[in-house]
Homo-oligomer: A and B are copies of this chain.
Amino acid sequence: MSKKTFTSPDVPAPDILRCAYMELVVTDLAKSREFYVDILGLVVTEEDEDAIYLRSFEEFIHHNLVLRRGDEAAVAAFSYRVRSPEDVDRAEAYYQALGCETRRGDFTKGIRNALRVVDPLGFPYEFFYEVDHVERLAWAYELQGAGALVRLDHFNQVYPDVPFGADYLADLGFRKTEQIADENDVTYAAWFARKSTVHDTALTGGSGPAMHHVAFATHEKHNILYICDKLGALRQSDKIERGPGRHGVSNAFYLYLRDPDGHRVEIYTQDYYTGDPDNPTVTWDVHDNQRRDWWGNPVVPSWYTDASRVLDLDGNLQPLQERTEAKEIDVTIGADGFSYTRKGDAVAGFKLGEQV
């Protein structure tokens, strides 16, 4: 059980609109460009020798992803847009009241007067309002390939103490939409939303702070299947880590890829509306074999174990804290773990027994 408790700073939290972009440090900008632009088809808003600013087809702000050249692959920022310039000030006051390190400034092209902080969990968070508008290419079908990415959907963060992190995110105004737990009140993962989808970010229990994945949305499931087909045609099918499949959590259709640095990217479509304040939180049993894949297909171990390191405001790697509670991989797979398709059904499915 989590012992640490989050103390609300007693100053108002900023009004967060949505996850807006992630800044990734990549070790070979040309290789990353090939992955994100040539293969995945993200739109280049702007680029120079050090960085590429990318957006999805339905975006009207400057970027949803920054690839910045660096020596070590990592995540430099999880960035959220807030409702007004004043909300950036509110964010500054909020994190200062929490005793977090904060900085104001223009950290990327296209965005001005942003706030960057190392949050209470150790993640580099950004909040901004001022941003250049660019052309929304929603109608530009002549530019959209068969696997067009139309929106940034969410982040996913790895952190050891999910309940502590959940309290912090709740204080910051996020609604918890779903979670994975067990009968002993251990929480393995939880999902948090500001916009009216299942999440803007999620916490996955594990050694952290670390970045589990960043997710882009397509319109339909066949768009995701096409991305797989294209990777096969390019003989890069080993970029596919897990899926495609249907999530239990979120009910979305998914695919997990690994970029040239190993950063995990999810392609995602069709979760549900969560915008009401009393939106019911869904709790999944960690032993339910359909929680992570509704079709019961196995989760590859790397999906549980690998994550990207995150940076502090000076660009140094944040140290990792180990998870002390039970780990999802241990309680569900292998000699000491178990999963069921039907609760109470003694028979393990043949897939589980044979695959791991």
Contacts and interface: CB of A to CB of B under 8 A. Distances in A.
Interface of A: 17-18, 58, 60-61, 81, 83-84, 133, 136, 138-146, 148, 150-151, 195-196, 219-222, 225-226, 228-238, 240-241, 244, 246, 248, 251, 253, 258, 270, 272-273, 275-280, 289-290, 294-298, 300-302, 341-342, 349-351, 354-356
Nearest to A352: B238
A273 B228 CA distance: 23
Given A195-B196, A196-B196, A355-B300, A237 B141 contact: no
13 contacts: A17-B277, A18-B276, A60-B279, A140-B233, A144-B146, A146-B146, A196-B196, A219-B270, A221-B221, A221-B225, A228-B246, A237-B289, A302-B350
B225 A136 contact: no
Contact of A237 (B146, B279, B294): B294
A270 B269 CA distance: 11
Given A232-B246, A341-B235, A58 B273 contact: yes
A235 to B, nearest CB: 5
A279 B59 CA distance: 10
A351 B236 CA distance: 12
B222 A275 contact: no
A196 B217 CA distance: 15
